[in-house]
A and B are shown apart, each in its own frame.
Chain A
Amino acid sequence: MTASKIQRLFLLFFAVQILQGCFEIREEVDLRADGSGRFTFTVNLSESKAKVASYMRLGTFNGQEVPTPADIEEEIGFLKKTLSACKGISEIRTYSNFQDYIFSISGQFADVQSLNAAMERIEATMPVLSEQGAQLRNFGVGTHSFRRYFDYPMELMDDSNLTTLERYMLQQARVVSVYRFQEPIREYSNPQAQLAPNRRAIKLEITLGALMQGTGTIANSIAF
């Protein structure tokens, strides 16, 4: 039941994407020298809030049930509980703004392996990912390196079948990753990333369209 509700959340995101398109998903990881750190995942539907509110009021979208604010709170609570139960994960905090439809979850991790295990546990609750039997990798860390993997089981999309509106919407939706370190970054692999002036933070912003068409990726190998 909970897994299907999470899927419904995803459905809502993609429904919004198709019909309004403008939203942002942001992941932030602050990595300390000892390998521990802090993570934050944020979903901002503010630019589509009118549509989201309408669909929530109607209760359905394209024949599918749309979660209510109570459902969303319940699911966020489930995520909090699941993450809190993961080894090496602590201080889970959640944030919900039903006026602007901004939701975030943050916490501390003891090491990157704990973070990966927690993410795998969450991904296991999503049939859309787990049924495909995918071995999803998220983060990797070495002596002087940090790595973001991205090999999610997504079929690359052929945009020749999309309407102009759909293409436009996919170009408006954004995925942003921000990683901060205590050591200065020596080099990184993803050419679309931006390095902070102090070289201790790196930001990558990519459109959902580029991600789904395979012309861009959030994967990045960072060396210190």
Chain B
Amino acid sequence: MKNLLLPLVLLFSSTLFAQDIRSYIPEDATFLFSWNADQIGRKVNTRQLMQQESMDLIFQEFVQGMDSLQQEEYHRLMTDPSTYGIESQQPMHFVGKRDDRGTFYAFLFPLTNPSLLEDFVTRQMTVFGDSTVIEDFGAYKLVNLGSYHIGWNNEVGIIADGQPAVPAFDFNIYDEEPTDFEWNEEEPAVEPEEIEEIEEPGEIIEEQPEEIIEEQPEEYYDEEAVEEEYDPGYWEEEESTDVVAEWAGEILCRSFGPSILSNPDYLRVSDEPADAHFWISYQQFMALTSGGLGGQFGGMSMMGAPNPNKFLKSLYDGVFMSMTLHFNQGALELKTEMLGQGRMVKVLQDAYDAKFNRKMLKYIDGRYLLGYYSVRMNVEALVDGFKDILYEAMAEVPMYGESINRMLDVVGIIIDEDALYDLIKGDIFVGMTGVRESETTVITYEYDMDFNASEVEKVVKDQYPEFIVMTSYGNEENMRKLIRLGESFNLFLDMGSYYEIPGGEGMSSYLALHNGVLIFTNDGGLIEDHLSSGVEKANRLSKIHRKNLCKHVQAMFWDVQATWEALQQTDARETDQDLVEMMEGIKDRVETVSLLTSRKVKPSIRGSLMLNLTDKESNALEQVLELVNQVILEASGLARI
């Protein structure tokens, strides 16, 4: 953890702009995180933030064991990095890369005066022992400080770490030359000798053994012989530091091929103003986070099954994800963009070509809205897109691929795809529209003086969240067939124009089909009395929500404050304390949460996550760091960082 603290410290302490050091980042980086210190510095007082108690705790942890001079030096590094030649007013970057050699990470920062940095590093080297030296490679210098490397040239400094790849197991080690052995079949088998009977022993004369002198063997373990014979062959261990040093050198020399600045998609998204930017090569990132799904061994492919890595590659190759973070006044926004020429982008672009069924809008009561989630997809386009990819993946595996393809063909005979697409339109809306009160009459007892019990009716009121779930359908007759199936299992009761799912007094749910919309809700009044007209116009969703639903293929909204108020009306405090505690923590800070994915999918698929905070006066970053500060302080008595 300590080797990450220094870059974190520098991230927070940097405040401004300068030269673009992104030319030191390879185009095929797995991910890149960039921090726009200048923009952040204009929004919050970073020096003030640095003085928070949690930062002091982190710092104390970091400098533990150092003498006072060193502590003072690191404190100066935190508060004024320019003292050590670091250009603290520029974007800094954290890059990750995975290739055949291993997995590497590096923090890059711009320099104004590399010699100041070198002096600082030299002073730290005494901490790491005499064997630590600064290696001078001409174009750059590099030093190994234990578990990580620090390097620099005239423009940029780097803190690098990583792990070498574990080499693949070479099954060919067993391909040894066969021992020369000739089986001469002409030779007859050896006949067993007859076993002679043993004569009865005669008198046994015990002879006294002579004195035994134990001779100590000189060397029974010939180390040289063992080393000569031992041939690792299939297992060569490289020092991880050599691999990381090599990679760090490539970065500093820019000997990795084109830089990320040659990627036009990256340039377009990174040039948009943002406080922080995260760029991911999707396929590489999936491989990195999942350990390669079999990694170097490709375990599944050993058994003839499709190699997941290959499948992922075909799906995500050429797909990038860009995320920009915006710390605004009273709000935090994360914008995402999926772009590139990869197949996944194309599949999703086709799948997102779907319209919102506006008929659903009239059934949503917006007066006490707690939240909703809506998503829609063009099912046919989605299935066709993935089918092609799946067939190709199957073709890679001759052992199973052909059988699976033929099986899918048979399934295609049984299932009428067109009928399926006509039945399922690929959209769903789930909404929590308030709290519903139900009354139940129960029997309790009253006792007289002799404790004789008499039955008494009591009305018990319960509160339940009111929900509505809607999906579009095409063929009504086929949909009714599905519902009749549920009826046969006593799930539904046919009430004529709708179905009831009984749940006792005030707790029933209802299912109705109307004009291409299947509605499932516990609002009996809506289904029984207003199925055609819907909710009164004045009580429907507000314009902004209607717009969000229509213009986005995915829309989520959560009114945290309304949810908290609804929770107070229930007995959640007694029945679900964990939920109440969680909500208490959230409702003090967050007003609403919304997630949107745009229906406009070209040239890229865009989305956004917005947290509207209760405190509208201060910047979101200040509020986030204040929260982190509280969490760290609370935990500081329990665990060391």
Contact = CB atoms under 8 A, between A and B. Distances in A.
Interface stretch (B15-23, B172-180, B202-210, B502-510): B502-510
Interface string A154-173: 00000000011100110000
B504 A51 contact: yes
B460 interface: yes
A178 interface: yes
Interface in B278-292: none
Given A50-B504, A168-B575, A180 B442 contact: no
Interface in A22-76: 24, 26, 28, 44, 46-47, 49-51, 53-54, 57-59
A197 B449 contact: yes
A51 B507 CA distance: 10
A50 B505 contact: yes
Contacts of B490: 57-59
Given A53-B504, A54-B504, A100 B450 contact: no
Contact of B440 (A50, A163, A168, A178): A50
Contact of B443 (A57, A102, A197): A102
A134 interface: no
B453 A178 contact: yes
A175 B354 CA distance: 58
Secondary structure dominating the interface of A: mixed
B447 to A, nearest CB: 7
A27 to B, nearest CB: 12
A164 B576 contact: yes
Given A53-B504, A164-B574, A164-B577, A196 B453 contact: no
B221 interface: no
A127 B558 CA distance: 50
A100 B451 contact: no
Interface stretch (A113-121, A198-206, A213-221): A198-206
B451 A201 contact: yes
Nearest to B447: A203
A192 to B, nearest CB: 14
A168 B574 contact: yes
Interface in B94-133: none
A198 B449 contact: yes
A102 B454 CA distance: 13
Nearest to A202: B451
Contacts of A178: 447, 451, 453
B578 interface: yes
Contacts of A46: 442-444
Contacts of A168: 571, 574-575
A46 B445 CA distance: 11
Nearest to A58: B490
A194 B574 CA distance: 27
Interface string B559-576: 000000000000100111
A92 B443 CA distance: 24
Contacts of A202: 451
A54 B453 contact: no
B507 A50 contact: yes
Contacts of B451: 178, 180, 194, 196, 201-203
B504 A196 contact: no
Given A57-B490, A164-B577, A168-B574, A180 B450 contact: yes
Interface string B13-56: 00000000000000000000000000000000000000000000
A54 B503 contact: yes
Contacts of A59: 490
Contacts of A196: 449-451
Interface in A96-114: 100, 102
A2 to B, nearest CB: 26
A200 B450 CA distance: 7
A197 B448 CA distance: 10
A26 B452 CA distance: 11
A26 B571 CA distance: 26
Contacts of A44: 443-445
Q: Identify the interface centre among A26, A54, A164: most chain B CB within 10 Å of its CB.
A: A164
29 contacts: A24-B445, A26-B445, A44-B443, A44-B445, A47-B442, A47-B460, A49-B440, A50-B503, A50-B507, A51-B504, A53-B504, A54-B502, A57-B490, A57-B502, A58-B491, A164-B574, A164-B576, A165-B575, A165-B576, A168-B574, A178-B453, A180-B450, A180-B451, A194-B451, A196-B450, A197-B449, A198-B450, A200-B450, A201-B449
Given A100-B442, A194-B451, A201-B449, 7 more contacts: A46-B442, A46-B444, A49-B504, A53-B504, A164-B574, A164-B575, A168-B575
The 4 nearest A-B residue pairs measured at CB:
A50-B504, A46-B443, A164-B577, A203-B451
